[in-house]
Amino acid sequence: MLERLIDSALSQKQRFSFIIVVDDKSPLQLNYQSDKVQYLQMKKNSGPAAARNVGIKYALENDCDYYLFTDHDCILDKEWNKEMTSFLARTEFGAVGGMTYVWGNTLLDYYHGINGTLAGKWLLPEKKELWYMPSLNFGMKRHVTEEFPFDERFPTAAGEDVDVCLRLRSKYKIGFCPRAKLWHDFGYKNTINDFSRFVRLFMKYKSSSATVYEGHTVLMWDSSVSIYEGNMYESNL
């Protein structure tokens, strides 16, 4: 999956200044080498928040203006970098989320697609900014990134992106760029066989949301609505 992501990152119409892959002490070996990609290795498995902060530190040291995040199981549209960075450049939003589509064809994938499981959430009622954007399709301006790093106390890939969005929204807004597209591969092969994975995924999210709930005390979950194809373009934008 990672090779597929790197291929899509290298074939962007607007090239990235840096592509940073952070290996969070994965047991899997990456058989892919490219001098256009910077590989950073964590000393121990520390979770995605810590890994992303390592990548951020490297990019800050190299004076980048915009910081885009994605996951190994994603495939980027060729215009993704151009759309994300130009959105950040031309708007006052401190951060941006793009449109996430599902890659697979099972019923479970279809569900995630219309459920917007890994898409962002509109902030209600106006839908002019995002309540939250998962970090698989997320970007921040330099000063926002400096001010709001990921909270490394989140040990797994769940909740750390909600937390960072809630914190940064105390000061900045998160915009939505529907033309910045990527596809996320949940890895389902078959609806029946992968049903237990589907259940476990939401159990993990529930666990992380309970943590975020206690951290923020007040749930703002319900003042938002997930984005899917049917509501990605808002007439009042």
Partner 1 sequence: MSLIYRRRAYQPKYTQVISDYLGEIVPFAKRVDKLYLVIPMVFLKTIEWSIYRWYETPIRRFYGIKGNELIYMITKRCNARCPKCGIWKQPESNDQHLHVSHFINCLKRLHYNLYQVTLTGGEPLLYKMDVMRIAEEARKLNVPMVIVSNGTFLDKQFLERYNELGHILVISVDSVEKDKWNEFRGRKDFDIVMPKIILARHVLGDKLRIQSVYAKETASEIPKVIEFCRKHGIKHNIQLHQDFHGDWHDPDGATMVDNDTPCAARKNICIYPNGDVVKCFDHRKIPLAEEPLGNIAKQDIIEILCSKRSTEISKIMKTCNLRCKNMSCNKSQNLLFK
Q: Which residues bind partner 1 (CB under 8 A)?
A: 107-108, 110-111, 114-115, 124-125, 151, 153, 155, 163, 166-167, 170, 198-199, 202-203, 206-207, 209-211, 213-220, 222-223, 225, 228, 230
Shortest CB 88 distance to partner 1, Å:
23
Between 20 and 108, CB nearer to partner 1: 108
> Taking the mean position of all CA atoms in its chain, how far away is CA 180?
12
Looking at the Cβ atoms of 31 and 217, the one nearer to partner 1 is 217
Please, which residue, 89 or 114, has the CB nearer to partner 1? 114
CA distance 105 to 102: 8
Minimum distance from residue 34 beta carbon to partner 1 (Å): 37
C-alpha torsion 230→232→234→237, nearest 10:
-170
> Which residue, 124 or 237, has its beta carbon nearer to partner 1?
124
27 or 125, CB closer to partner 1? Answer: 125
CB of 124 to partner 1, least distance (A): 7
Nearest-angstrom CA–CA distance, 82 and 167 = 26
Q: How many CB atoms lie within 10 A of CB 107?
A: 15
Stated as kind and residue range, the H or E segment containing 99 is: strand 95-102
Q: Which of 90, 85, 36, 87 is nearest to 65 (CA)?
A: 85
Q: How far is the CB of 199 from partner 1 (least distance, A)?
A: 6
As measured in angstroms, the least distance from the Cβ of 122 to partner 1 is: 13
Nearer to partner 1, 17 or 115 (CB): 115
Between CA 166 and CA 147 the distance in angstroms is 13
Q: State the DSSP H helix or E strand holding residue 41, giving kind and residue range, or none if neither.
A: strand 37-41
CA 155-157-160 angle, to 5 degrees, is 75
Residue with tokens 């769940």: 158
Minimum distance from residue 141 beta carbon to partner 1 (Å): 20
Calpha distance 57→136 (Å, rounded): 18
